[in-house]
Amino acid sequence: MGLQAEPSSSRLSLWWRFGALTIVLAEFIVLGWIAANAYSISSPIPDQVVGPAGQVVFTGADIIAGQQVFLRYDLMDNGTLWGHGAYLGPDFSAAYLHQLALDAKAWLSQRPQANQPKDMPTVGREVLTAEVAALLAENRYNKATGILTFTQPEVDSFGKQIDQWRTYFATTSQNRGLPKKMIDNAEELRQLTAFFAWSAWSAVTHVPGQTYSYTNNFPYDPAIGNGPSSAAVLWSALSLIALLAGTAAVLLAFGKFDYLGWHDKGQSADIHPGLLPGSASPSQRATLKFFVAVALMFLVQVLVGGGVAHYRAQPDSFYGLDLTAIFPSNVLRSLHLQLAIFWIATAFVAGGAFLASALGGTEARGQTKTLNVLFVLLLIVVAGTLLGDVLGVRGAVGKAWYWFGNQGWEYLQLGRFWQYVLVVALLVWAVFLVRAILPAWRQKQHREISTLFLLTAFAIPVFYLPALFFNGSTHFTVVDTWRFWIIHLWVEGFFEIFATVMVAVLFYKMDMVSLQTATRVIYLDAILFLGSGILGTGHHWYWTGQNTVSMALSATFSAMEVVPLTLLTLDAAAFIRLTRSRCDECGKPVSVPHKWTFYFLMAVGVWNFIGAGIFGFLINLPVVSYYEVGTNLTANHAHGAMMGVFGMLAVAMLVFVLRQMSSQENWNRTQKYVKVSFWGLNIGLGLMLALSLFPTGVLQLWDVIENGYWHGRSAAFLDQPIMGYLEWARLPADAIFIVFGVVPLVIATIRTYFHSRATHS
């Protein structure tokens, strides 16, 4: 089980290290500049908003307080703001803006010179629309005084919309499953409406000296002439050139240098795994309880997800029951997201700990106790977060909602206190990894791969820290800047690279690839994934208050993210070759003990191409994202990428550990559950996308283009019969995913846990 040295001639060129380091540093400098720039270019929050006569309509303090009402009641898990959030309710900024446009048009049409019959010529209506557009586009903010002046129709619309939002929160069928009268306090409604009014003003008012708004003219609304900016069209076209150039360069490199990618050691003899199933150190056995928690969280997460999907099909009843009284839709959606992150991250943490022990080869004193402490910390984070989700929205934790309840930021709903506990847990994990890998690091020939393992692992706690850079009163543009450092960089960047390192270590320890190949693949994936993915993070920022420079960089690099995802499909074929080594003497394929682990890794390659590659590229071009963001095509991409890639990676690690912990006899009884799970998860996910998420997303995109973004996100659109049929069509897909995908995995995990306890008791 010891590590075998590679000859010095097999050492990698220094250019691999230099290239990876240069790309990462250069792109982080640019990304850091974009993040810092967000503080100065974001739409201003005025000290006061006044009417034409100078009367105060609302204040900057009201806007900030309204944002906190928005967060405290977890409305980002109901609808969206500037396109980001949940897909059950409306986009609040778009809905407010459209009503404002209607009110402004009605006000203008009442002027004596504008009085026209209802059947006035089309050109007359176009002139009136142009007048509304000009009225709302004019920037009346005085930077010197901090005062924003509203026109009379803007003042009148604000007062009118307070009552409209009160009606929205009181109507379950319209708000898609929020608690009855969730927000009924007059002051909270006024402040919340002030926040929506400011977000709508930012979306339509032109940046001084420019012909586009602070949100690059998002959302699309023909009633006020809001359409895609010139920059959105230009950089969509130019990003395609970057994609073609990047694809050509990478294919040229792979054609010229045939040693790139996964290659076996050229052996035809039996594979002798460096990790023998049935044997494990005490700390490796201690990871099994993490995977039991993973399987159980996975089960709860998909059951909750089924509840969220039901709210789209039948918002005011759960088979005759009023589910909103117990688990309203925004709480279920928050639980669904948080549990997805928790079970996947926990699998990575436990898998990393298992492989670190294997890489080190020896076990330091107290490692099992360290893992036990880590397990308790993770349980505290999970339990605290889930309880906070349920109680925080109900106001049960009072003014401490931001610390112990639900922060309200999508994907980062856990209270600030639980975030600090999570950071401590990740640091404990880092300490464990250092002590586990230290023996391998001391061996010169293994120092590089050990260092890469530690660096990619350390990036996970380090790049979670931006979650602590903002609070409930921070400007929404600034928050979304840091929020996607975590969502995109943490999850789609460094988790992905850490997964590559774990797979490389796994293949090397199983004597399937050389140390040189394993190390080269790590550098190659870092260059390809981070080279496009770091600045590609910005495709989330097109409409959240960033400028056109950010859009240009983001669109260009985001398009190139497809290149490494395309190459991952070749990895799937390479995995097959690696698992089909032949024996010289017998002339038959060698039986590989980790067959189902490799099958799940193959699924990762396929789903990376489909979910992240095809469906991700479909929505990432600025001119497409402008109409699409926040529709079901986003959910289609999210499910295909999050579950298809990171979920399958987590399950692959779980299955690997289950096999390691099982005797041959136990595995013979257990692997049938794993086999059913493999097909259940993949078939269920495929049907979920094909029967519901993709077609509903296409119809929603079509409606946005035809009628405006506000309409494609409205209850009127979602309540159409065709949308209802497609939402119900998801039911068999969800049933297959849960019953044949997740449940067998839970059974296999629990069986193996008790088998391991009985074997080592």
- pLDDT tens for each residue of 21-75: 999 999 999 999 999 999 999 999 999 999 999 999 999 999 999 999 999 999 9
How far is it between the farthest Cα atoms of the chain? 98
Note whether 543 and 503 are within 8 A (CB).
no
Residue 579 reports pLDDT greater than 70: no
Please report which confidence band the pLDDT of residue 123 belongs to, taking 50, 70 and 90 as the band edges: very low
What's the rounded Cα separation, in Å, for the pair 720 and 325? 26
What's the rounded Cα separation, in Å, for the pair 424 and 402? 19
pLDDT of residue 112: 62
Q: How far apart are the first and last CA of the chain?
A: 24
What are the tens digits of pLDDT across the range 66-90?
Answer: 999 999 999 999 999 999 999 999 9
What is the DSSP secondary structure assignment for residue 141, as one 8-state letter? E
Task: Please report whether residue 60 resides in a domain.
Answer: yes
Q: How far is CA 236 from CA 618, 624, 689, in A?
A: 12, 8, 26
pLDDT of residue 567: 64
* Domain end (from 194, 215, 236): 215
Q: Is 126 exposed, middle or buried (0-12, 13-18, 19+ CB in 10 A)?
A: exposed
Mean pLDDT of the chain: 86
Residue 487 reports pLDDT greater than 70: yes
Note whether 528 and 567 are within 8 A (CB).
yes
* Domain end (from 215, 237, 261): 215
Note whether 621 and 236 are within 8 A (CB).
yes
Q: Are residues 449 and 585 in the same domain?
A: no
Q: Are residues 169 and 310 in the same domain?
A: no
Closest to 200 (Cα-Cα) out of 213, 187, 183, 186 = 213
Q: H or E element: which one contains 490? A: none
Note whether 565 and 591 are within 8 A (CB).
no
Q: Which two tokens stand for residue 337?
A: 């997201």
What are the tens digits of pLDDT across the range 340-357?
Answer: 999 999 999 999 899 888
What is the DSSP secondary structure assignment for residue 540, as one 8-state letter? G
Strand 406-409, strand 147-149: pairing: unpaired
Note whether 477 and 38 are within 8 A (CB).
yes
Return the percent helix, strand and coil in the chain, to nearest 5.
70, 5, 25
The CA radius of gyration of the chain, in Å to the nearest whole number, is: 27
Three-class SS state of 287: coil
Q: Which two tokens stand for residue 463?
A: 């790049």
Note whether 359 and 505 are within 8 A (CB).
yes
Q: Are residues 640 and 747 in the same domain?
A: yes
Note whether 34 and 482 are within 8 A (CB).
no
What is the DSSP secondary structure assignment for residue 80, as one 8-state letter? E
Q: Are residues 416 and 313 in the same domain?
A: yes
Task: Please report whether residue 617 resides in a domain.
Answer: yes
Q: Are residues 192 and 119 in the same domain?
A: yes
What's the rounded Cα separation, in Å, for the pair 131 and 126? 9
> Helices 664-688 & 743-760, crossing angle to 10 degrees?
160
pLDDT of residue 585: 42
Closest to 205 (Cα-Cα) out of 247, 281, 151 = 151
What are the tens digits of pLDDT across the range 322-337?
Answer: 888 888 999 999 999 9
Please name the residue ranges forming H helices in 50-121.
60-72, 92-109
Q: Return the sign of the alpha-carbon dihedral for residues 200, 205, 211, 213.
A: negative
Task: Please report whether residue 146 resides in a domain.
Answer: yes
Which range is most confident: 280-284, 351-355, 749-753?
Answer: 749-753
What are the tens digits of pLDDT across the range 153-210?
Answer: 999 999 999 999 999 999 888 888 998 878 989 999 999 999 999 999 999 999 999 9
Note whether 567 and 540 are within 8 A (CB).
no
Give me the half-sphere count of Cα atoms (radius 13 Å) on the Cβ side of residue 123.
0
Q: Which two tokens stand for residue 247?
A: 């694809």
Task: Please report whether residue 439 resides in a domain.
Answer: yes
Q: Are residues 204 and 292 in the same domain?
A: no
Q: Are residues 207 and 286 in the same domain?
A: no
Q: Are residues 620 and 751 in the same domain?
A: yes
What's the rounded Cα separation, in Å, for the pair 91 and 97? 10
Q: Are residues 166 and 292 in the same domain?
A: no
Note whether 271 and 581 are within 8 A (CB).
yes
| Over residues 486-508, mean pLDDT | 80
Q: Return the sign of the alpha-carbon dihedral for residues 380, 382, 388, 390.
A: negative
pLDDT of residue 576: 59
- Selected residue with higher pLDDT from 146 and 14: 146
Residues 6+ apart with CB under 8 A from 9: none
CA 484-488-493 angle, to 5 degrees, is 145
Strand 80-81, strand 84-85: pairing: antiparallel
DSSP 185-241: -HHHHHHHHHHHHHHHHHHHSBPTTSSSBTTTTPSPBTTTTB---HHHHHHHHHHHH
Task: Please report whether residue 524 resides in a domain.
Answer: no
Q: Are residues 433 and 353 in the same domain?
A: yes
Three-class SS state of 601: helix
Residue percentage of the chain with pLDDT more than 70: 88
**Before 564, cis peptide (omega within 30)?**
no
Task: Please report whether residue 6 resides in a domain.
Answer: no
Note whether 97 and 219 are within 8 A (CB).
yes
The CATH number for 735's domain is: 1.20.210.10
Q: H or E element: which one contains 715? A: helix 715-718
What are the tens digits of pLDDT across the range 238-281?
Answer: 988 888 887 787 777 666 665 666 555 554 444 444 466 667 78
Closest to 132 (Cα-Cα) out of 223, 212, 208, 229 = 223
Residue 411 reports pLDDT greater than 70: yes
Task: Please report whether residue 572 resides in a domain.
Answer: no
Note whether 432 and 349 are within 8 A (CB).
no
pLDDT of residue 515: 80
Task: Please report whether residue 460 resides in a domain.
Answer: yes
Closest to 683 (Cα-Cα) out of 597, 617, 608, 603 = 603
Strand 56-59, strand 48-50: pairing: antiparallel
Q: Which two tokens stand for residue 529?
A: 């994934």
Domain span at 741: 577-761
Please report which confidence band the pLDDT of residue 662 belongs to, taking 50, 70 and 90 as the band edges: confident
Q: Are residues 478 and 582 in the same domain?
A: no
Q: Are residues 616 and 472 in the same domain?
A: no
Q: Which two tokens stand for residue 580?
A: 């089909």
* Domain end (from 412, 447, 482): 482
What are the tens digits of pLDDT across the range 100-111?
Answer: 999 999 998 887
Q: How many domains does the chain have?
A: 3
CB atoms within 10 A of CB 50: 19
Total number of residues shown for the chain: 761
